[in-house]
Amino acid sequence: MFPLPKSALIPILIVWLGIGHASKVAVIFLGCILPVIVSSFNGARGVDHHLVWSALTMGTGRRKLLWKVIIPAALPDILSGTRLALAVSFVLLVSSEMLAGNTGLGFLTYFLGEGGDFAGMFAAIFTLTLLGFVADRLYLRLMRRILVWQREGQE
């Protein structure tokens, strides 16, 4: 799923889009789109064929089949892919800030490390770690709320 290190795209996008937010957003988008697409494809491909056949037998149209059967059945995989993309986005954001930024915690980490302020550098790293952890926990909470129907069926 990761044949090209996404951080290798940072210098190319800086040349094309310049140093700024546009290159950071582009690198994060390009780095995160593949896990979401692959997990969505695999989730849709893994939908139980009996569900699809049953819906088609009852006269469900193709568009309604997508929204009422396939997407709900593939939703756990789709959300897992976006969770992976969330983690990748943190790595790419920090990397792009270190290479081409003049603001942000990635830039601050690099700047403090270069200046020899290792206590400040580790404080910035700890802050990044805490932000990543909190973002992941909040996303897990959101996933549980969205997939509440899945837990109710297991009980």
In a domain, 50, yes or no: yes
Per the CB < 8 A criterion, the answer to whether 6 and 92 are in contact is: yes
Range of the domain at 130: 7-154
In a domain? residue 133 = yes
Angstrom distance (rounded) from CA 139 to CA 11: 30
Q: How many domains does the chain have?
A: 1
Confidence of residue 155 (pLDDT cuts 50, 70, 90): low
| Domain annotation covers residue 120 | yes
Does any domain span residue 34?
A: yes
- Inside any domain, residue 1: no
Mean pLDDT of 84-111: 90
Q: Which residue has the higher pLDDT, 17 or 83?
A: 83
Per-residue pLDDT for 1 more than 70?
A: no
Query: pLDDT at position 154, please?
Result: 59
* pLDDT at 70 (0 to 100): 94
Q: What is the CATH number of the domain that holds 131?
A: 1.10.3720.10
Q: Is residue 2 part of a domain?
A: no
Portion of the chain with pLDDT greater than 90, in percent: 68
Query: How does 18-31 read in b/e, with b if 16+ C-beta sit within 10 Å?
Result: eeeeebbebbbeeb
- Mean pLDDT within 38-54: 94
